[in-house]
Amino acid sequence: MIQINVDGERIKLNEDSVLIDIYLIEELFSKDPKTNLKKVYSILFTGWLKSLDSEHRQFYLPYSIDDEFVETFRATKDGNLIVLKCVSLYVFSFDFKVEENFVYEFSLKNHEIAKEYPDNFGEYDIVEFKNALLNYINMANGN
């Protein structure tokens, strides 16, 4: 079973983790005091679920926003697995919206790659990965 945890510094998938920059995420949501980090990531993860359910074999799952870059997992479906690789994309931060449909549409577009890390971040069973995302979303929304 996959466990997903998001704190102010990292996203953890079991023992694997990536650094996140929450400054701009907080800036984008400072107008709504009810929105916290868990809620923001539940929105992102809902967009991820839509991408995972799509017919597309490869797509981007955004997890961190910087001034000129969006950090993503380039996700590739490989049979029953989802293979994640960390990729930085050239995207101006204020063009990015943390909205379920925007995240989904963003994930399917072609983007200019700023940096691609050499090793895969991880390989996960797609069903288990989707269940972990659903568990996080439910927890973040108090369900």
Segments making up each domain of the chain, as ranges: 4-140
Tokens of 113: 């790659």
Q: Cα angle vertex 36, ends 61, 142, to 5°?
A: 90
pLDDT tens-digit readout, 43-92: 899 999 999 999 999 999 999 988 888 999 999 999 999 999 999 999 87
Q: Can you give the pTM of this predicted structure?
A: 0.90
The answer to whether 73 and 64 have CB atoms below 8 angstroms apart is no
Question: Looking at the predicted structure, is the pLDDT value of residue 18 above 90?
Answer: yes
Q: Which fold has domain 4-140?
A: Secreted effector protein pipB2 fold (3.30.2450)
| 79-130 pLDDT tens trace | 999 999 999 999 877 777 777 888 999 999 999 999 999 999 999 999 999 9
**Burial annotation 27-51 (CB, 10 A radius, 16+ → b, else e):** ebbeeeeebebebbbbbbbbbbbbb
What residue has token string 């577009």?
Answer: 109
